[in-house]
Structure 1
Amino acid sequence: MSAHHPTLPAHEALRTSYSRQLRQGFADLRFDPPLEAAFREEFDRGLAPRLAWLALLITVSWLAFWAVDPLRMQPQALPAAQQGLWTELMAVRSTVAAVLLLATWRAWGRHLGGHLRHWVVVTALVVTLGGAWGATCYLRLGSFQPLEILLLLMAGLFLPIGLTLRQTLPLALACLVGMTLVGVLQTEGAAQGRFLYFSGLMLVAALVAAFGAYHREYAQREQFLLRAELAWQAGRDSLTGLCNRRLLEERLQALLAQAPHDRAPVALVLADVDHFKRYNDLYGAAAGDAALRTVAEVLQSMAGHPFDMVARLGGKSMAVLLHGLPLPEVQRLAARALNDLRTRAVPHDGSEHGWLGVSLGLAMAEPGDSPQSLHRRADHALYQAKLNGNNCAIAAP
């Protein structure tokens, strides 16, 4: 999640992109672009091994049919006029087997990469059209061919093979049209009528499978949003919408570990609302909550880098973690935040300034710093800011 998530008003604090998408709905099985990309990334996780096993299963099944063909047909006993059909059938079997073996080899070798969906589409087209062509060969040879296998091929297109329903539907339509054309062009008479009949059944099978695939993908998308929303809420402060202490500590630990490698400055800014107990006593707890949300929004404006983070540490204490900025720029952002809060002029009769103020302690990470040592220096600077009259920013030496 970006550090620029809005924090006001209170009921907006948990209105993340996930919850907004849940409210907006996704009947068309499509999220807003950033969420769609995140969903596809999770959807694809672990997909390659599953496709590898599926490709192996299909390949073994196809090779088994190929091995049984000579036993069923006894090609040496076929009339000379039908030898060409036998050769045609073997050519179809060989072509599809070659594509399947190549796809299986690439899937098991993890060589599909970013072309995974292209391989899925090509393999599905080759298998379905090859299956249809093989069926017409059997029909023309006068041998029994269970066309029901084509129904399984059509239904199989709607399995979770790496394509969304929006991608599967055009593929299924292409396969259906292709199989129908193969049947019409390669057969005649009763055989052609039988093939057309099964084309109708395949259309019905596609509609039924699409109905099931729609609800499966809808449930997957809904679960993705719910899991992400729960994970987001688990790391956030419910009052302000800021990150919590745990997330801040994890991010700070990661940035300090990375700092020697990327040589990017890391700054920690601790914030403490001035005379907050007096404010609560004067204006009540509800006004105190609103004041904390205002301070949170002001501090949030300091974050601009993807690795930046603003967190509520508890009570009236907050923190800003900044990445890649030198001390003068951190001081400039702190001064801007103080000025922003001064401009808002939230009344505070218990403050020496007459408005709600906040004290800031700044510390830049040094070589060898741990999260604890950096926090101690920022905390010492914050203490100096309090001694300096509050409502100011002091940088640690």
Structure 2
Amino acid sequence: MFEIMNDLLRAGRHSRYFNHTRSHHLFTRVRLIAWMLMVLQSGWILIDWLLLPEAVSSTIAYGRLAASACCLLLGLWFSHPYRLEISLIRLLLLVLVLTVFQTWSNMVLLQQGFASEVLAGYAFFPFMIMTMLAIFPLTMFEVAGFAIFVLLVELVTQLWTGKFGLVPGLNDLWLLAVLGLIAGWASVNQLSMLLILYRQATRDPLTGLANRRQVMEQLDGDIEEAHTHRTPLTVMLFDLDKFKSFNDNHGHAAGDIVLKQFARILKDHAKRKTDLAGRFGGEEFLLTLPETDQNQAISLAEQIRTACHQTRLKVPTGEEVSFTTSIGIATLIEGEDRSGLLQRADEALYQAKDSGRDRYCLAGDAAEPSQND
């Protein structure tokens, strides 16, 4: 329960790969709402002409057209759909556009002797902004930040117009706070559902690591990024030694215990958000390490081997067992694709197994494999 609350509280615990997914959700929804608001803001000019004097309606029309143009630009902003910070900036800009128009239009109407609450299309702006937050999958900190901003703008507006302290003003603040709580609950609930669906679609049910499909998709992205920015990328392919014989001797329940424990070891050593540990199939695992060169990977491989040596497990038969792993290490070379990288890692893994197991070998390197401790 505590872990789930941490996931919903802030984005710091989310993996880079889940942030990509959430970022795209924010990106698509901000664009959709921006298009809708562009049409509504422009269309409301006709209603203003019916309700306001020509001089006032013309002034307001310029503001609505400016807000529509901003919404159009947000709708046309296609770049970086998978960068979470950019998607949050998109949402912030959308809120700012609506808030600035609301504040400016209130000032114009007040100067002309009109009360915004008696005109169609003005008084509801703060409430629309607040309820709009329910559409987006946000953490508790994020939705609290947006809600507090809207409340502060409304408070400043009431102080400026002399409405603060009066019953209508207090009612509006109370209603905004209640809507903020409801919108926040809905927004965080969306994030929770997105996390559940993401994990179901991308996690191996036994070990909790990324499944093969997720590993392949993210590896493609990591390779593209490594080629683009000319940064190192290393993969490590693991195979639990003599695992089929272990299952035959101790049973599949014992084998599952070993798989889960090895998964925990990989999680403990894949500490960066950019690292991704996954179950490649059966007793094979893959660890992708962006911005990691061969020497760093060798050090990590030794740490993982040592952790396996130090592990003792009790299986259902009451026996205490241990396990070892063989490792193939391959570092991306210029122009290489996923198939080539994995093939070299697989060849290095088989070299490690053929030379005695419980060691690592480097792809495309005739250097001596690691020695047993």
Common fold, TM-score beyond 0.5? yes
> Which of residues 89, 100, 103 in structure 2 aligns to 1:125?
103
212-221 vs 328-337, which deviates more? 212-221
Alignment of 1:95-174 (within 5 A): 96-110=60-74, 115-135=93-113, 149-150=118-119, 153-160=122-129, 164-174=146-156
Q: Deviations over 1:374-395 (max 9, x none)?
A: 3232222222222222211122
Secondary structure of residue in 1 paired with 2:154:
helix
Give the aligned residue type for 2:192. L
TM-score (norm 1): 0.67
Q: For residues 33 and 312 of structure 1, what CA distance do their matches in structure 2 show?
A: 25
State whether structure 2 residue 284 is matched by structure 1 residue 317.
Answer: yes
Secondary structure of residue in 2 paired with 1:166:
helix
Q: For residues 177 and 119 of structure 2, what CA distance do their matches in structure 1 show?
A: 16
Q: For residues 371 and 49 of structure 1, what CA distance do their matches in structure 2 show?
A: 38
Aligned residue number for residue 137 of structure 2: none
Q: For residues 181 and 369 of structure 1, what CA distance do their matches in structure 2 show?
A: 66
Aligned residue number for residue 326 of structure 2: 359
1 or 2 for the larger relative contact order (CA 8 Å, sep ≥6)?
1
Give the aligned residue type for 1:127. S
Give the aligned residue type for 1:32. R
Q: Deviations over 1:159-183 (max 9, x none)?
A: 147664333333333444444559x
TM-score (norm 2): 0.71
State whether structure 2 residue 326 is matched by structure 1 residue 344.
Answer: no
How many residue pairs are counted as aligned between the two chains?
324
Q: For residues 98 and 276 of structure 2, what CA distance do their matches in structure 1 show?
A: 41
Q: For residues 337 and 93 of structure 2, what CA distance do their matches in structure 1 show?
A: 43
Give the aligned residue type for 2:64. L
The structure that has the greater radius of gyration is 1
Q: Deviations over 1:253-309 (max 9, x none)?
A: 233344433222332221111122343344444432222122112223443554432
CA contact under 8 A between 1:311 and 1:318: conserved in structure 2?
yes
Q: For residues 112 and 170 of structure 2, what CA distance do their matches in structure 1 show?
A: 20
Q: For residues 64 and 181 of structure 1, what CA distance do their matches in structure 2 show?
A: 27
Q: For residues 251 and 106 of structure 2, what CA distance do their matches in structure 1 show?
A: 71
Calculate the aligned-residue CA RMSD, in Å: 3.8
TM-aligned CA distance change 1:371 to 1:108, over 3 Å: closer
State whether structure 2 residue 55 is matched by structure 1 residue 62.
Answer: no
State whether structure 2 residue 191 is matched by structure 1 residue 224.
Answer: yes
Alignment of 1:268-307 (within 5 A): 268-307=235-274
TM-aligned CA distance change 1:151 to 1:202, over 3 Å: farther
Displacement of 1:310: 1.0
> Which of residues 356, 362, 367 in structure 2 aligns to 1:395?
362
Secondary structure of residue in 1 paired with 2:123:
helix
Unpaired runs of 5+ residues, structure 2, are 78-88, 134-145, 316-320, 365-373
Percent identity of paired positions between Structure 1 and Structure 2? 24
> Which of residues 228, 252, 259 in structure 1 aligns to 2:219?
252
